[in-house]
Chains A and B, each alone.
Chain A
Amino acid sequence: MVIVLGTLGTSMASAAAAEPVIGIPVLIPNTPTALSTIRFSVDVTGDDITFVKINVEECDGKTGICYPEQNITMNKISNITYAQNVTLTHSDATYITYSVGVQYGSLWKNSTRIKLNLSEQQPPDHNQTNGSGNNKKIPGFELVVVVAAVAVSLILVGRKRYR
């Protein structure tokens, strides 16, 4: 199945035009985590290159969900190198897939899509809670307990007065 995806990421351009050559993107850091910012850089050679875009899709491999990908224009930082920072936006993402799209003239060429597993997040700092020590309670239900307690108290007080 993965082979199918890989095949689909290949060129969409017509064979008549001289296609640009897209290098392998370099990521910094090369073991990113969810919600981190990744610097992508890639070498692209060819004529009449008008746009270079990085396409990054975040997926949660546990639930099998993929989120809409980010398509961000890369900046030319040298003769052939393009770079861009991409911030991942989904905390539950376990892997990303990315490809580079190059517009040359009126045509587009997409590189093969690459999958990269994200490193596990650092565990959250449990000292930074609200002090209750139990943050798994459903918000708002404390109010139910308070209302019930007040109601019972009033009933008891009412009975005492009645006697």
Chain B
Amino acid sequence: MKPAAVISLAFFLILLAVLSGCLNSSPENPSVDFTFTTLDGQTKQLREYYGKVIVLDLMGVNCQPCTLQMSQLKQIQTNYSSDDVIIISIDVWVSLGENATLLQQYIDAFREQLHVELNWTFGLDDMKGTIGNTYARSGIPTLYILDKKGNIYYTHVGYDSYTMLESKLDEVLAKS
């Protein structure tokens, strides 16, 4: 092989390496799992809910967009069978002073003032904020749609529309 061709080949390999560095090399669809406490004090593992598509809502009682998000989640609960899709809302601001009492008051306020039953699984992070620090570092609400194996199919930080959530749920359900 001629020297010029060797040099050219070397430069193209470098170029390829530079370009490949621009691509996301993280593993595709990592799974989500953690331990949380339910409102009645039980310790649960997220993996116990695998087998159905999970809409995981990491929220806080004192977060206005999280409150608005509840309407979209309620719509999901109404429009999808609980055999296919379940919703889990976790208060990740326990380390900032939120607790089971406040979360229960929040759910009660929806029922009493807005006549909306938030009758899905609610839970709390630990006092260290382990779940929030791992899965909601960019702020809340952070929403995940997990496929039936617990792999992340969709993530969104901030308030998300029902239309978007519906389209992602339909996609993941069609694939499973």
Contacts and interface: CB of A to CB of B under 8 A. Distances in A.
Contacts of A8: 61-62, 102, 105-106, 109
Interface residues of B, number: 44
Nearest to B96: A69
B101 interface: yes
Contacts of A7: 105, 109, 113
Contact of A147 (B11, B101, B158): B11
A67 B58 CA distance: 12
Contact of B96 (A1, A5, A68, A150): A68
Majority SS at the chain B contact face: helix
Given A12-B102, A144-B19, A115 B64 contact: yes
A155 interface: yes
A118 to B, nearest CB: 14
Interface residues of A, number: 40
Interface string B31-68: 00000000000000000000000000000111111111
Interface string A11-32: 0100000000000000000000
Given A12-B101, A71-B96, A97-B62, A63 B159 contact: yes
B12, B65, B105, B110 pick with most chain A CB within 10 angstroms: B65
B174 interface: no
A137 interface: no
A154 B12 CA distance: 11
A60 B173 CA distance: 32
10 contacts: A4-B113, A8-B102, A55-B62, A64-B159, A66-B64, A66-B65, A66-B66, A67-B139, A69-B62, A151-B15
Interface of B: 2-5, 7-8, 11-12, 14-15, 18-19, 22, 60-69, 71, 93, 96-97, 101-102, 105-106, 109-110, 113-114, 132, 138-141, 157-160
